[in-house]
Amino acid sequence: MSSVISAIPARNPKGVGAMFFLQLLNMIGFSIIQSVLVLYVMQTFHVNDKHAYALFSAYMAMLFGMSIAGGYICELIGYRFAFVLGLITGTIGLLLLALPGSFNLYLGLSAYIASTSISVTAMYVLLGRLYQSQDPRRDSGFTLAYVGSNVGAFIAIFSAGYIGSDFSYVFAFIAGAVFNLIGLILFAFTHHYYHPDLAEKSDHKAKPITVKTRVYGLVGFLVMIPILVILLNHASLSNELLIFIGILSGVLIIFTALREQGVARAKLMVFWILIIVSVMFWALYMLAPSALNIFVDRNVDRTIFGHIIPTVTVQSLNPFFIMTLGPLLSLFWLHSRKHKLLFTAPAKFALGILLMGIGYLVLVPGIVSANAAGLVAMSWIVLSYLLQTVGELFVGPVGFAMVGDLVPPRMEGVMMGVWQLATGVAGALSDYLANLTVAPADATQATQTNPIFAHSFLQFGLMAVAVGLITMLMTPKLAKVMLLHRVSES
């Protein structure tokens, strides 16, 4: 195995740099919608907190939950074609959001969900195919691409807050559409870096892309949009439905594992366990644009040097820390490889969710030390975002990179979809968590709502820390399974 590793170049393959910028451009529209949706529907359609949380959770749940269908569609139409189709449809969705009326809101969100279901899956599969199986550079390459997406997220969230405060969120949606089109142009010049849509030669069970399969895939993609419109109009039911689908997907992974033999079965079971851990992590992560966003809006002193920071702009702390810390972490993975210091995926997941939990726990003393008006110092929010972001760097890019390592090549598209579905299930669960922070209608002052937020954040933090410690205890056995698999394939 060591001779195989030493033969692999130290630098990442061509195409990783292009994917950095493709992720950046694609993430701008994604982050604009995610960061402003709760405040946008409250201000424009005058709905209450629970209604806004339900719609946001349903949107996020469907955004990732439709990824299994997106994975199948990608396999039918080809990953490069799917990426192009996703960019075009996402552009249309953003432009629809810029138009007035609830119908355009739901149709625009649905079009964007459909676009993301194929474009994100396609991007990560295309990136993964730049590497051979068990290439130790994989974590580094995925981390760099992940940093690219967060550069785009930082640009989007930071500017969207000021655009919304000074003008209208409509202009933010239009800007997202423009950047999507720029991404389409970039891909036209760089698509040759990525492997053809036919699977690798080692995957003898894969079927070629044909006109017939592309027609089926396109029809399925178009049918997805009106279905999503209906689901978003019944947000609470959609969240419950996605949780049910998530449970079925977990059963599917177990059933698939039982049909495999030896190390392939063991790897799929590790994949299943890490998905469960990731659901908890992303459920807490998705509170940032919803419940945590409202907490910042109403209960945090956002005045810095006499200037009030827009609520949405505060969310840009997350991508800012990823931009600054992500490259360092990517270099650390390469450095640790040279010195034979192994950080396995289970260990990274355990550390990630521990940091997420601590990120919520530090908000409790921040609330206790609030000023006379009940406003919490901004420094506590910065610390919380820092801890959550470092946790995300251990889970997010590593999770996408892990899919190609743990599943058979013929299942990569579908299992990449299952991995994103787990995030969708987390989005649905975040609705229940967010509702724990909702105060009674007569509690309008920060001094009245602070105890409710403190109690909820304490629960969230302790729950995450417990999951992290359990995962840490399981790490040696999970890592042993993954290491045995590597040895058997070398």
Q: What is the CATH number of the domain that holds 65?
A: 1.20.1250.20
Give domain status of residue 66, yes or no. Answer: yes
Number of helical (H) and strand (E) elements in the chain, helices listed first: 19, 2
Closest to 292 (Cα-Cα) out of 38, 464, 27, 109:
38
Six token digits for residue 209? 């892309």
**Alpha carbons 82 and 215: distance in angstroms, whole number:** 12
Q: Three-state secondary structure along 196-239?
A: CCCCCCCCCCCCCCCHHHHHHHHHHHHHHHHHHHHHHCCHHHHH
Domain span holding position 462: 12-489
Give domain status of residue 57, yes or no. Answer: yes
- How many structural domains does the chain have? 1
Q: What is the pTM of this model?
A: 0.77
Q: How does pLDDT run along the chain (490 residues), one tens digit per residue?
A: 444 444 455 576 677 778 888 889 989 999 999 888 988 888 888 888 888 888 888 888 888 778 778 888 988 888 889 999 999 999 999 999 999 888 999 999 999 999 998 888 888 788 877 766 666 676 667 777 777 888 888 898 888 888 877 677 888 899 999 999 999 999 888 887 776 544 443 444 556 777 888 898 899 999 999 999 999 988 888 888 888 888 888 888 888 888 877 777 888 888 888 888 989 999 999 898 888 988 998 899 988 888 888 888 898 898 888 888 877 877 776 677 666 666 777 888 999 999 999 999 999 999 999 999 999 999 999 999 999 999 988 887 777 667 767 777 667 667 776 777 888 888 888 888 988 888 887 777 888 889 999 999 999 999 999 999 999 998 888 877 766 544 444 3
Give domain status of residue 354, yes or no. Answer: yes
Cα separations in angstroms, 177 against 87, 94, 100, 234, 417: 9, 6, 16, 27, 24
**Alpha carbons 419 and 417: distance in angstroms, whole number:** 5
Give domain status of residue 286, yes or no. Answer: yes
List helix spans (H) across 98-234: 102-128, 138-166, 169-190, 211-232
Give domain status of residue 359, yes or no. Answer: yes
Give domain status of residue 3, yes or no. Answer: no
Give domain status of residue 1, yes or no. Answer: no
